[in-house]
Chain A
Amino acid sequence: MKFGIVVFPGSNCDHDCYHVIRHVLGQEVDFIWHKTDKIGQYDCIILPGGFSYGDYLRPGAIAHFSPVMKQIKAYAEAGGLLLGICNGFQILLETGLLPGAMRDNAQLKFICDYVYISIANNNTPFTKQCSNNQVLRIPIAHMQGNYYADERTLAAMRDNGQIIFQYCDASGNINDDVNPNGSVGNIAGICNKQGNVLGMMPHPERCVEDIWGSADGRFIFDSIIRP
């Protein structure tokens, strides 16, 4: 399987994704420079975490104007698998490929920690190796992960099964006490209607290797890679 990782100025989880895909999972992978206006053939493209354009203005707001994004949009609209992690998720919201918006974390502080997320829909290319309500232990690291969408949008997303991950406790209970950033409905990740574009705040690439105490990120990558 061939992955592409888009590199914006300020991306900083690009190398981590590359390491995991190439050296841990043994798949093909290229970096895609953000100024490219033509992209090759990929089975999955990742918009990695980081601080594209320094998060200036709003996270993802400027990256959305990078030349490569026109191609990325066309790729997604044609059904290509597109995964936005953390800043990548924020970019997907700014481009309108996913609904909703990000606000500052409720505590107004950057949070880096392990959290638990529950799988709300395993019927997507990104979660098909998981079971519904399965709990993953996975790191987050962000300042603006407080997801918001209005009630109508949320209802439509629920109906379409677009809510994919929700913050929960170790046993899978979803409540305010385990919501790290104030996200509406404890939302940690969502997909588009068609299911080929996923945005998530947690970092699956940070928990793929066994030495880290959690290798739950593998469920996401395995879902993408395995037929």
Chain B
Amino acid sequence: MNNKEPKITPELIVQHGLSPEEYQTIVNILGRRPNYTELGIFSVMWSEHCSYKSSKAILKKLPTTGGCVVQGPGENAGIIDIGDGQVAVFKIESHNHPSFIEPHQGAATGVGGIMRDIFTMGARPIALMDSLRFGELNNPHNRYLFEHVISGIADYGNCMGVPTIGGEVYFDPTYSQNPLVNVFCLGIAKADRIFLGKAQGEGNPVIYAGSKTGRDGIHGATMASEEFDESSAERRPTVQVGDPFTEKRVLEACLELMRTDCLIGIQDMGAAGLTCSTAEMADRGDMGIEIDLSKVPQREKEMIPYEIMLSESQERMLLVAKKGREQEVFDIFNKWDLDCVEIGRVTNDERFKVFNNGKLEADIPVKALTNEAPLYTRVRNKPAYLDKLSDAKLPKEPVDYNKLLLDMLSRSSIASKEWVYRQYDHMVRTNTSLLPGAGASLIRIKGTKKALALSLDGNSRYCYLNPYIGGMLTVAEAARNLVCTGARPLAVTNCLNFGNPEKPEAMWQFEQAVLGMADACKYFGTPVTGGNVSFYNETSGEGIYPTPVIGMVGLLDDIGQTLTPWFKQTGDIIILLGKDSAKLGGSEYLKYLTGDILGILPDFSLEHEKNLHKFCLKSNEDGLLQSAYDLSEGGLGAALAECALINYNAGLGAHIGLDGTRADIALFNEAPGRILVTTRQDNLAGVERIAQEYNLPFKVLGNVISDKLLIDDILELPLSKLNQSWRGAIPALMQRK
């Protein structure tokens, strides 16, 4: 044993996040005590982050097959068929913990990691999106986290030349000590050129390519599997540093290599680095693998096997090539000035063997690290706060509606996110068909008439008040956003951000939310192709709201039929589809009035949601709609303003009437299942007929007019003033010192 390696003590085992029972299992598997390197390997492979030990049983409830699914969960990313011999490869992943400790690099390496998951499967990444949650911006530390997470995403994505085309950003005190950074990437590949992370063929070379290995990021996976406390900032050294320039070269080299037929399997080195990539590749191929660490390109001197195996240095790939074709692989990586060396070979004994200078440093059965990792059925208890919820008391009706709407539009969660997406190159690759800030995102597929619609949605307030309904709603909102572009929802990836799974309340929330998502995905026929679970989103014992995030992909057959949210011309009829609710539970309006998330959720129906999909798709196919926009945070009030402001230069507003209901409730209730559409006068009857066909509540609100927003005799505001509140809010907050 290396003299730098500590003795295995009970304290050391605890520090590695392993329970005494887990340690005993390791001893039983090996038939001896593990050495330091082996302990490290087990600790990362059995961490929550890599093993999904708390979530696996529950995740099985999600529908993962059928329809267009080519590759479901278990690989680096999910794959769906989009026709014309093409597939879309996509996935979402969290980088919450590193982003809290070091926001710029934490977020940047999140972007780098998710892109590797996509191109490792043979797809060129063509779109990025982010779902971000922070504490309120009146706190300087939250402004710091927000500013640097955005700059980290921008730096990495922009340099890679992959457009960041949309996403969502929300603010709530629950995320103050635990921001959420969920990164989504989608790529396109040929259906017959998909690559998997599989090691096959005894004797085939195992090749390491990309950046050199350093000591950065050691135990990142274990860190992501623990709660935070005041000392977490001291962990800055466990956050990796990203180098997008290297990743860009790795991307180009990998895609070039994939055009040859040298490659058997490939996987990126993400969480748990060399350990996880070698073990998973061997596992998927039901093979063994042996590697020699002395051959691994190293950035620092005198690294011990433990460090090399656990390093999470970025921009590294693991390849299995055909024997005899090694030189072709080296040549391509060398062309791009990248390290590329053979570090081992595939064996047929299903053992994971690590040598260093000829000395055997680890010898573990492959399956012990993967399939045979411990699984837990955690205790689940309904949290007590849920029984205390009651219908929120109706607030007093406000007097000044002009002020109320301006206040609502300037709330950070509703306000325009232009300050954010102006920092992202959202146009590179020239596919972005809907610029950010318009609900769903849309990218055309070159060489076809098609476009893919993408939506990233979460609603943690609803999930907090009712995780099962909240889970369904999250899926429904993503789907609603897609149909509002005219696209048909196809499939889903999810990022599940929850608290400590060892706490029965957090685990109950997790299970309920997953069940809700599963039911909605089944009902809509949108299977889950993979995703990511992020537990332990707690700081000093305080958990975040349960925050499942859905990334949904849809297909628009003809990009010429794109439906957009903004008003098109004066005189068009404005119609609200769906039913209002007098329940304000979980709404931004209630939070504005009380500062709290409380109350009972409005009614929700999957059947109604699906009818909305059919209505949107049918009336768009028939060319009856001028615009469509989903109602979400801020309800009708925010949606009306946004339809006027997204394309502000057109100078189109609205004149509507609210017929008797209390105006603040009509404007700001957040009943789900509602969309706002406009149609030309002569198409009104046609739209109404389709709405009736699908049994949808249908209400003509008014007309599109020039320059202002007019509601009965209670509100009159010029667009310029609305724009100032909506577009100006975040820049104003960020100028505070």
Contact = CB atoms under 8 A, between A and B. Distances in A.
Q: Do A and B come from one complex?
A: yes
Interface residues of A, number: 31
The listed residue with most B CB atoms (<10 A of its CB), out of A20, A23, A112, A206, is A112
A112 B426 contact: yes
Nearest to B163: A112
Contacts of B429: 15-16
A182 to B, nearest CB: 15
B424 interface: yes
A12 B248 contact: yes
Interface string A149-176: 0000000000000000000001000000
A10 interface: yes
Contacts of A53: 245
Contacts of B151: 109
A110 B423 contact: yes
Contact of B158 (A19, A110, A113, A212): A110
Contacts of B154: 110
A78 interface: no
A16 B159 contact: no
Contacts of B649: 170
Contact of B427 (A19, A51, A203): A203
B422 A112 contact: yes
Interface string B408-448: 00000000000001111111111001000000000010110
Contacts of A209: 430
A139 B421 CA distance: 14
A56 B159 CA distance: 11
A209 B431 CA distance: 10
A16 B430 contact: yes
Given A19-B446, A112-B424, A141-B425, A51 B244 contact: yes
Main secondary structure of the interface of A (DSSP, over half): mixed
A74 interface: no
B648 interface: no
Contacts of A143: 158
A205 interface: yes
A50 interface: yes
Interface residues of B, number: 31
B248 A55 contact: no
The listed residue with most B CB atoms (<10 A of its CB), out of A12, A16, A19, A111, is A12
Contacts of A120: none
A8 to B, nearest CB: 11
A203 B427 CA distance: 10
Interface string B262-306: 000000000000000000000000000000000000000000000
Contacts of B249: 9-10
The listed residue with most A CB atoms (<10 A of its CB), out of B158, B160, B428, is B428
Given A51-B245, A51-B248, A12 B160 contact: yes
Given A109-B423, A110-B423, A111-B422, A9 B337 contact: yes
A12 B428 contact: yes
B161 interface: yes
Nearest to A56: B245
B161 A112 contact: no
Contact of A139 (B248, B423, B427): B427
Nearest to B421: A112
A54 interface: yes
Contact of B428 (A9, A13, A54, A109): A13
B424 A10 contact: no
A151 B249 CA distance: 40
A110 B243 CA distance: 18
B336 interface: yes
A139 B422 CA distance: 11
B559 interface: yes
Interface string B646-663: 000100000000000000
Contacts of B245: 9-10, 51, 53-56
Interface in B202-246: 243-246
Nearest to B433: A211
B427 A111 contact: no
B159 A10 contact: yes
A112 B423 contact: yes
Interface string B296-326: 0000000000000000000000000000000
Contacts of B424: 110, 112
A11 B362 CA distance: 42
Contact of A111 (B159, B244, B423, B444): B423
Nearest to A55: B159
A49 B428 CA distance: 9
A180 to B, nearest CB: 10
A141 B428 contact: yes
Interface in A33-74: 49-51, 53-56
Given A141-B427, A211-B444, A12 B161 contact: yes
Interface in B331-366: 336-337
B167 to A, nearest CB: 14
Given A10-B248, A111-B422, A54 B427 contact: no
Contacts of B337: 9
The listed residue with most A CB atoms (<10 A of its CB), out of B154, B161, B243, B426, is B161
A51 B246 CA distance: 11
A205 B431 CA distance: 12
Contacts of A141: 158, 425, 427-428
Nearest to A49: B428
Nearest to A24: B430
A18 B246 CA distance: 23
A55 B155 CA distance: 11
A155 B151 CA distance: 37
A127 B156 CA distance: 34
A109 B735 CA distance: 13
The listed residue with most A CB atoms (<10 A of its CB), out of B243, B429, B444, is B429
Contacts of B446: 19, 23
A143 B424 CA distance: 10
A16 B559 CA distance: 19
Contacts of A20: 430
Nearest to B247: A54
A211 B427 contact: no
Contact of B159 (A54, A112, A113): A54
Nearest to B446: A19
A171 to B, nearest CB: 12
Given A9-B245, A141-B425, A50 B430 contact: no
A113 B421 CA distance: 9
Nearest to A9: B249
A19 B430 contact: yes
Nearest to A35: B335
B433 A112 contact: no
A50 B429 CA distance: 11
A19 B431 CA distance: 11
Given A19-B430, A110-B158, A112-B421, 20 more contacts: A9-B248, A9-B249, A9-B336, A10-B248, A10-B249, A12-B161, A12-B428, A13-B161, A16-B428, A19-B446, A51-B158, A51-B161, A53-B245, A56-B245, A109-B151, A109-B422, A110-B154, A110-B424, A203-B427, A211-B559
Closest 8 CB pairs of A and B: A12-B161, A54-B245, A51-B159, A141-B425, A110-B423, A112-B425, A16-B430, A110-B154
11 contacts: A10-B249, A13-B428, A51-B159, A51-B161, A54-B245, A54-B248, A110-B424, A111-B423, A112-B425, A141-B425, A211-B444
